[in-house]
Amino acid sequence: AQKVTQAQTEISVVEKEDVTLDCVYETRDTTYYLFWYKQPPSGELVFLIRRNSFDEQNEISGRYSWNFQKSTSSFNFTITASQVVDSAVYFCALIHPGGSYIPTFGRGTSLIVHP
Amino acid sequence: KAGVTQTPRYLIKTRGQQVTLSCSPISGHRSVSWYQQTPGQGLQFLFEYFSETQRNKGNFPGRFSGRQFSNSRSEMNVSTLELGDSALYLCASSLATQETQYFGPGTRLLVL
């Protein structure tokens, strides 16, 4: 069975602070994809990144960076110099290709960035 | 390219009624998935359609059904609505099964 845990229900920071959102996953499969999505108040989930289980390279995109560590089954997301527009709920998700394609989402972390 | 569109955006129904939600995927995308999002259960997968065929189904009762048309547009139907069906229903499209999903803005359904 697959499981994604986002232990942080809500994080509150002040603008310009760095913040890390944790994602821990469980799967018996060696091949899988991990995702991060952002859900602003409007409701639409916005795709941020997809990572293949065979690619452990960290990734940076502007103020966003992702740290994928298979040894700890974690795929953490860091926002550097947070801004008010980063306020949203962030979801981590796991998909196992090749089998029944039913994605597993974490419960989400609500990030509130105060001006 | 236009994103995923969903109609209607908001809907109010009463118990026992039925509802049909519509989703138009990104042009060229052939896979459409539906999700239910509630504060209590989070994001839950309903079903996925690809080339007019249901490929996967989540753990929902038979009151929840869907279909996909030849132009990849999809509809989901919920019959005999219950209070617990109040939720945000999200549609996502992808080029094919197992590809990255792109979500629409959702339909907020309130059952009274």
Q: What is the pLDDT of residues A7-31, one digit of tens each?
A: 999 999 999 999 999 999 999 888 8
Q: Tell me the C-alpha distance between A106 and A80, whole Å.
A: 22
CB contact under 8 A, B106 and A108: no
- Of the partner residues A42, A98, A100, the one whose CB lies closest to the CB of residue B56: A100
Mean pLDDT over residues B45-69, rounded?
94
Helices first, then strands: H and E counts in chain B: 0, 11
CB contact under 8 A, B88 and A47: no
- Of the partner residues A44, A101, A105, the one whose CB lies closest to the CB of residue B104: A44
Q: Tell me the C-alpha distance between B36 and B45, whole Å.
A: 7
CB contact under 8 A, B42 and A35: no
Q: What percent of chain A clears pLDDT 70, i.e. is strictly above it?
A: 97
User: In chain B, what's the furthest Cα-to-Cα distance?
Assistant: 38
